[in-house]
Structure 1
Amino acid sequence: MTNKAGGPGRKLGLFAAIALVMGNMIGSGVFLLPASLAPFGWNAVAAWIATISGALVLAYVLARLTKAFPEAGGPTGFVQEAFGSVAAFLIGWVFLVSIWTGVVTIAVAAISYLSSMVPGIADAPLRPAILAAITVWLLTLLNLRGVKAAGNFQVVTVLIKIIPLVVVIIIAAALLGGGTGEIAPFKPETISLTAINGAAALTLWALLGFECASVATARVENAPVNVPRATMWGTALTGLLYLLVCSAIALMLPAEIASRSPAPFATFVERYWAPGPAALIAVFAVVSCVGALNGWMIMVGELPRTMAEKGMLPAWFGVTDSNGTPRRALLVSAVIATVLVMMNASRTMQELFEFLLLLSTSANLWLYLACAMAAVRLKVALPFAFVGIAYSLWTLWGAGLDASGLSLVLMLAGLPLYWWAKKDRKVAAL
């Protein structure tokens, strides 16, 4: 067995590929979602089921596209195969927008959990936004040192994020199994399609990232078999974990407590265990958010550089230093993230988290919608592709006109950069 770069010894097996999918999906979303979902009650449980089902359909479409067009190089490549370079740029650009807004959302989640340990953070209107911006810049500085430093930091934080989830599941199982725990009663008359739709737009945020296995096709052993399996199993296992954890917190905590908590995981553990472990859970949640933020910061540097190398962004974004670090892309991304968070600084932390969550989810949904439409155009997994289109449109509607409309405007706003890149290519060809 060879150990050369790209050879079998350097590739991911099935279980490693599943871990890649789950690791990229489990970030900050789950730690604040119980507060956002608490007002929806049992509608949130139905939303999780709808979201997991929709994510699995989209994941299957991406897996089939990867198998049919392995040379495309990922989701934007599928769109280029079906609709051309302009459509591919728009989808790649809006995907980058979703990462920018995702970075801010994760930073807000970290500060929200920090505020449960340092209550004064939430007292001043601008303080949470300023601290979120500072967090973004600290991680930017770490990534400016190079991908090796960022990667080492990521290794340290990746396992910590699982601890709070496991603790909540154990506590909930012990309480319900011992007959001492109660969940909110199920009332069929409170279930509505509108409420499920609204909750589903929130739950999808926690499942974003299931496309990563198709992007990493070249790094997976026996990719035609293992990429679809890893995508499906990783999405299903993460969705099940989220369904259990978020439903336990949202249904076992009184709705008025869960919805107002800046750190619902810590609130749950404190109520049903003790304050000491709850404080520790909050620390784990902050570390998890920072670790997830670091992973996304790696992407906000690498994605613009890759797009520039493919001629989809101006060459200026692709310039790297002697260590191969895309400094310009990182700094521009940090500035954009700061502007986004400060533009919405007047909102409460929960309002800021929910708005940015919906904006990031909406931006990502254009990518999923385009890939499903590409599958129809390329005649790949047609029944699932049609369902994927319907699900993407349904969730875009659930995200609301503000978030979905703004994400569309931001997508189109990138066109001047495409024309700039096109002009660069013409000049370089002379």
Structure 2
Amino acid sequence: MPSPSPPRRVFGFWICLALVIGNMIGSGVFLMPRELAPYGWNAIFGWMVTIGGALCLAYVFAMLARRFPRAGGPYAFCREAFGPAPGFAVAWSYWISVWTAVATIALAAVSYLSHFLPALAAQPVLPAIGFVWTFTLINSLSLRGAGGVQLVTTVLKVLPLAAAIILTLLISAGGSSTPAPSVPFRAEDISFASVTATAALTLWAMVGFESATIPAGHVENPERTIPRATIIGTLTAGIIYLVACSGVALLLPAEQAAQSNAPFADFIGRYWGEGPASLVALFATISALGAVNGWVLIQGEMPPALARDGVFPAWIGKASRGGVPVRAHLVSSGLVTLLILSNQSRSMGDLFVFMALVSTLASLVAYLACALAALRLQGSGRMDRSPLLIAAAGIGTLYSLWAIYGAGLEPTLWGAGLLMSGFPIYLLMRRNHRGEAAAV
């Protein structure tokens, strides 16, 4: 018996906004101060470059979604512009970025939970895998349930960030009795190499602005809802990042920040005490878990879009009676589990940075391709010409190339290897379709 049609239009503006903000504000903002502390003021400039580049790319995605409001996001856009083979390459790359993001954020959740259970810091693998499969179950049961979890956890995750922003402003205004470390700004300390390195790291925190474009088939009035949620969500998250994360990196002693598994909790604890610090660690854990939920939702939406076009096996695209792509969820989470297990010899900090860079690099392939797609579609007359969109796509292209350069050699090689691993599947599916056509 064929699978029933998936339920339509179950995501409105607020759930789409929660998906964008919730997927962006997951682990990056809570663990990034540890990685950025050694760079000092270079990190501020890195954030500014990253936020500007992400806003340009978000505008590109918003306009593409307005013109082509179809499930699959980057895959749909690049297939329209370049054809099926490049579309598949982008989809495969983006799918890789999603399930590597799930692995990274699950580890970040364990990192913050180790504030209460320190033994977890030495053995993060099994708890992280447990989180992945818990949210796989939630997403497999109901789209509405997964959307509700996303909305609630997004509201909760804003609370510790608001506390950090308020504390940063109070310290800057001299309203704290605890002396703050002085990190003076010196122009000679700012270097292109350091800004490039921090931009590559901070982009991980901005990945996710495209989230509302993926489940377009489930979105009410997608031509209007997706662009609004994408732009508003990206701008909101960017402002929160710039103030909160920079405050922690500059106002927590650099040695402490660089060794902390929970820098936001340590920041609050230094100035407000251990009680508020534990509360922040709890909400940071909830934030990361909410992002795991959101990215698990996204990882299940890509394979069905590819299956519908015949470039993935049809069985992976079949939905449950509730319209949920359960098989796609199981395959994706299985890959997440293998990725975590294959890198378990790394320390928690090294594992987080490595997987974040691999995920970011895979996302950048999709971002670069979509920026080029917007330029091509305007040039061919399939999208209305817009000077603003041309400028945003041009800046997004240059920014993506720059960020790929800044990611480093090892993540780039891993990303290239994972990208190439998809082509045997594409060639096999293409041969099968030729055989079916010849038989007819």
Q: Provide, for residues 305-327 of structure 1, a one-character-per-residue CA deviation record: whole Å limited to 9, x for no partner.
A: 23212222111211334444433
Report if the CA contact (8 A) 1:47-1:197 is conserved.
yes
Equivalent in the alignment of 1:178: 174
Aligned with residue 405 of structure 2, among 368, 378, 397: 397
Report if the CA contact (8 A) 1:48-1:203 is conserved.
yes
- Quick one: which amino acid aligns to residue 383 of structure 1? A
Task: Tell me the secondary structure at the aligned position of residue 312 of structure 1.
Answer: coil
- Quick one: which amino acid aligns to residue 44 of structure 1? A
Map 1:296-307 to 2 at 5 A. 296-307=295-306
| Structure 2 Cα separation of the partners of residues 353 and 179 of structure 1 | 34
Distance 1:122 1:214, change over 3 A: closer
Task: Tell me the secondary structure at the aligned position of residue 160 of structure 1.
Answer: helix
- Quick one: which amino acid aligns to residue 385 of structure 1? A
RMSD: 2.5
| Structure 1 Cα separation of the partners of residues 15 and 68 of structure 2 | 22
Between 1:57-66 and 1:39-48, the stretch displaced more is: 57-66
| Structure 2 Cα separation of the partners of residues 288 and 57 of structure 1 | 26
Q: Does 1:166 align with 2:167?
A: no
Report if the CA contact (8 A) 1:35-1:260 is conserved.
yes
| Structure 2 Cα separation of the partners of residues 271 and 261 of structure 1 | 13
- Quick one: which amino acid aligns to residue 223 of structure 2? A
- Quick one: which amino acid aligns to residue 91 of structure 1? V
Report if the CA contact (8 A) 1:113-1:285 is conserved.
yes
Distance 1:78 1:301, change over 3 A: closer
Equivalent in the alignment of 2:239: 240
**Shift, 1:168, TM fit:** 0.6
Distance 1:230 1:141, change over 3 A: closer
Report if the CA contact (8 A) 1:69-1:78 is conserved.
yes
Aligned with residue 408 of structure 1, among 412, 416, 422: 416
TM norm structure 2: 0.88
- Quick one: which amino acid aligns to residue 54 of structure 2? A
Unaligned ranges ≥5, structure 2:
1-6, 380-384
| Structure 1 Cα separation of the partners of residues 117 and 202 of structure 2 | 28
Map 1:181-260 to 2 at 5 A. 182=180, 183-215=182-214, 219=219, 221=221, 223=223, 227-260=226-259
Report if the CA contact (8 A) 1:314-1:424 is conserved.
no
Equivalent in the alignment of 1:118: 117
| Structure 1 Cα separation of the partners of residues 202 and 367 of structure 2 | 15
Task: Tell me the secondary structure at the aligned position of residue 77 of structure 2.
Answer: helix
**Shift, 1:244, TM fit:** 0.3
Equivalent in the alignment of 1:147: 143
Report if the CA contact (8 A) 2:72-2:301 is conserved.
no
| Structure 2 Cα separation of the partners of residues 141 and 222 of structure 1 | 27
- Quick one: which amino acid aligns to residue 405 of structure 2? W
- Quick one: which amino acid aligns to residue 149 of structure 2? F
Report if the CA contact (8 A) 2:71-2:215 is conserved.
no
- Quick one: which amino acid aligns to residue 246 of structure 1? C
Report if the CA contact (8 A) 1:315-1:421 is conserved.
no
Task: Tell me the secondary structure at the aligned position of residue 329 of structure 2.
Answer: helix
Between 1:113-122 and 1:68-77, the stretch displaced more is: 68-77
Task: Tell me the secondary structure at the aligned position of residue 116 of structure 1.
Answer: coil
**Shift, 1:102, TM fit:** 0.2
Aligned with residue 127 of structure 2, among 117, 127, 131: 131
**Shift, 1:95, TM fit:** 0.6
**Shift, 1:71, TM fit:** 6.2
Report if the CA contact (8 A) 2:66-2:222 is conserved.
no
Task: Tell me the secondary structure at the aligned position of residue 210 of structure 1.
Answer: coil
Q: Provide, for residues 191-236 of structure 1, a one-character-per-residue CA deviation record: whole Å limited to 9, x for no partner.
A: 1111111111111111112123445667465936x65454333222
Report if the CA contact (8 A) 1:144-1:330 is conserved.
yes
Unaligned ranges ≥5, structure 1:
none
Between 1:358-367 and 1:274-283, the stretch displaced more is: 274-283
Q: Provide, for residues 341-380 of structure 1, a one-character-per-residue CA deviation record: whole Å limited to 9, x for no partner.
A: 1111111111100000000000000000001111222235
Q: Does 1:34 align with 2:33?
A: yes
Equivalent in the alignment of 1:362: 361
Distance 1:70 1:144, change over 3 A: closer
Equivalent in the alignment of 2:351: 352
Between 1:152-161 and 1:234-243, the stretch displaced more is: 152-161
Report if the CA contact (8 A) 1:72-1:78 is conserved.
no
Report if the CA contact (8 A) 1:314-1:420 is conserved.
no
Equivalent in the alignment of 2:3: none
Give the fraction of aligned pairs with identical amino acids, expressed as a percent.
Answer: 45
Report if the CA contact (8 A) 2:214-2:302 is conserved.
no
Between 1:406-415 and 1:227-236, the stretch displaced more is: 227-236
| Structure 1 Cα separation of the partners of residues 227 and 147 of structure 2 | 26
Distance 1:16 1:304, change over 3 A: closer
Report if the CA contact (8 A) 1:34-1:246 is conserved.
yes
| Structure 2 Cα separation of the partners of residues 348 and 398 of structure 1 | 22
Distance 1:357 1:326, change over 3 A: same
| Structure 2 Cα separation of the partners of residues 217 and 331 of structure 1 | 21
| Structure 2 Cα separation of the partners of residues 154 and 72 of structure 1 | 19
| Structure 2 Cα separation of the partners of residues 44 and 281 of structure 1 | 23
Q: Provide, for residues 290-319 of structure 1, a one-character-per-residue CA deviation record: whole Å limited to 9, x for no partner.
A: 111112112222221232122221112113
- Quick one: which amino acid aligns to residue 288 of structure 2? C
Report if the CA contact (8 A) 2:110-2:121 is conserved.
no
Task: Tell me the secondary structure at the aligned position of residue 117 of structure 1.
Answer: coil
Distance 1:162 1:86, change over 3 A: same
Task: Tell me the secondary structure at the aligned position of residue 344 of structure 2.
Answer: coil
Q: Provide, for residues 28-64 of structure 1, a one-character-per-residue CA deviation record: whole Å limited to 9, x for no partner.
A: 2111111111111101000000001111111222233
| Structure 2 Cα separation of the partners of residues 117 and 341 of structure 1 | 22
| Structure 2 Cα separation of the partners of residues 283 and 248 of structure 1 | 20
Distance 1:188 1:179, change over 3 A: farther
Equivalent in the alignment of 1:386: 394
Q: Does 1:84 align with 2:83?
A: yes
Report if the CA contact (8 A) 2:24-2:291 is conserved.
no
Report if the CA contact (8 A) 1:113-1:286 is conserved.
yes
**Shift, 1:104, TM fit:** 0.3
**Shift, 1:237, TM fit:** 2.0
